[in-house]
A and B are shown apart, each in its own frame.
Chain A
Amino acid sequence: MSLSLLLLVIGGTLAMTLFGILGGLAFSGIDRVLAARMQSRIGPPLRQPFLDMLKLMLKQNIVPANAIPWLFNGAPLIALASAITILLYIPMSSLQWFPLLGLHGDLILIMYLLILPALAMVVGGLSSGSPYATIGAQREMVTMIAYELPFAVTVITFAWKLVQADVAHPFSLATLAATPIWTLVGPVGGVGLLLLLVAMLLVAPGELGRIPFDAPEAETEIAGGLLVEYSGRNLALFYLSLAVKTIVVTALIVALFFPWNLSDWFGAGHPLLAGAADAVFFLLKLELVMFVAITLVRISVARFRINQIVDIYWKNVGAISLLGLILVMADAYIL
Chain B
Amino acid sequence: MKTINVKKPAGYTTSIGPAHPALKEPVMFALGLEGERIVKCDFVPGMAHRGIEWMGMRRNCIQVVYLAERICGLCGITHALSFCRAIEQIAQLQVSNRAHYIRTLVGEIERIHSHLLWAGVQAHELGFDSAFYYSLRIRENIMDLLEFLTGNRVHYAMIQIGGVRRDIVPDQFARIEASLRFYEDAFDRLSAIFLEDTTVQMRCRDCGVLTRKQALTLCPVGPTARASGIRKDVRVDTPYAAYADLDIAPVMPDQFTGETRGDVYDRIVVRLLEIKQSIRIIRDCLAHIPDGDLLAIPKPAVLLAKLKAAEGEAVGRHEAPRGEVMHYVRLTAGQEEPTAWKVKASSYSNYMSWIPMMEGDQVADIPVIAASIDPCISCTDRVALVRGTDRQIWTKDDLHRLSVEKTRRIQASISAGGNES
Seen from chain A, the residues whose Cβ lies within 8 Å of a Cβ on chain B are: 38-41, 131-132, 135, 138-139, 211-212, 214-215, 218-224, 299-308
Contacts and interface: CB of A to CB of B under 8 A. Distances in A.
B360 to A, nearest CB: 14
A189 B199 CA distance: 31
Interface in B164-211: 197, 199-200, 202-203
B129 A220 contact: no
B127 A218 contact: yes
B197 A302 contact: yes
B137 interface: yes
Contact of B363 (A38, A39, A222, A224): A222
B203 A39 contact: no
A308 B134 CA distance: 26
B334 to A, nearest CB: 53
Contacts of B30: none
A110 to B, nearest CB: 29
Among B123, B134, B364, the one with the most A-chain Cβ atoms within 10 Å of its Cβ is: B364
Given A302-B199, A303-B199, 16 more contacts: A40-B134, A135-B363, A138-B35, A139-B36, A211-B129, A218-B127, A220-B124, A220-B367, A302-B200, A302-B203, A303-B128, A303-B364, A304-B202, A305-B365, A307-B36, A308-B202
A298 to B, nearest CB: 8
Interface string B359-371: 0001111110000
Contacts of B123: 302
Interface of B: 12, 14, 20-22, 35-36, 123-131, 133-134, 137, 197, 199-200, 202-203, 362-367
A265 B199 CA distance: 42
Contacts of B366: 221
A72 to B, nearest CB: 20
Contacts of B125: 220
Given A302-B199, A303-B203, A306-B36, A220 B130 contact: no
B35 A220 contact: no
24 contacts: A40-B134, A41-B133, A131-B14, A138-B35, A211-B127, A214-B127, A219-B127, A220-B21, A221-B22, A221-B367, A223-B21, A224-B21, A300-B130, A301-B199, A302-B127, A302-B128, A302-B197, A302-B200, A302-B202, A305-B364, A306-B362, A307-B36, A307-B362, A308-B202
Contacts of B126: 302-303
B137 A40 contact: yes
B128 A221 contact: no
Nearest to B35: A138
A223 B367 CA distance: 11
A84 to B, nearest CB: 29
Given A131-B14, A212-B127, A220-B127, A305 B203 contact: yes
A224 B127 CA distance: 12
A39 B203 CA distance: 21
A223 B203 contact: no
A40 B133 contact: yes
Contact of B362 (A39, A132, A305): A305
Contacts of A219: 21, 127
Closest 10 CB pairs of A and B: A303-B127, A302-B128, A302-B126, A302-B199, A301-B199, A131-B14, A39-B133, A305-B364, A220-B367, A299-B130
Nearest to B126: A302
A183 to B, nearest CB: 36
Among A139, A220, A223, the one with the most B-chain Cβ atoms within 10 Å of its Cβ is: A220
A308 B127 CA distance: 14
Contacts of A221: 22, 363-364, 366-367
Contacts of A132: 14
B409 to A, nearest CB: 44
Nearest to A303: B127
Contacts of A212: 127, 199
A64 B137 CA distance: 39
Contacts of B131: 302
B200 to A, nearest CB: 5
Given A220-B22, A222-B363, A135 B36 contact: yes
Nearest to B200: A302
Nearest to B131: A302
A219 B365 CA distance: 13
A39 B129 contact: yes
A273 to B, nearest CB: 42
B118 to A, nearest CB: 15
Contacts of B36: 135, 138-139, 305-307
Contacts of A215: 364
B268 to A, nearest CB: 12
Among A221, A302, A303, the one with the most B-chain Cβ atoms within 10 Å of its Cβ is: A302
A303 B137 CA distance: 21
A304 B35 CA distance: 17
Contacts of B22: 220-221, 223
Contacts of B14: 131-132
Contacts of A220: 21-22, 124-125, 127, 367
Contacts of B363: 135, 221-222
A139 B124 CA distance: 20
Nearest to B19: A223
B203 A304 contact: yes
B128 A301 contact: yes
A158 to B, nearest CB: 30
B56 to A, nearest CB: 35
Among B123, B124, B125, the one with the most A-chain Cβ atoms within 10 Å of its Cβ is: B125
Given A41-B133, A300-B130, A306-B36, A218 B364 contact: yes
A235 to B, nearest CB: 16
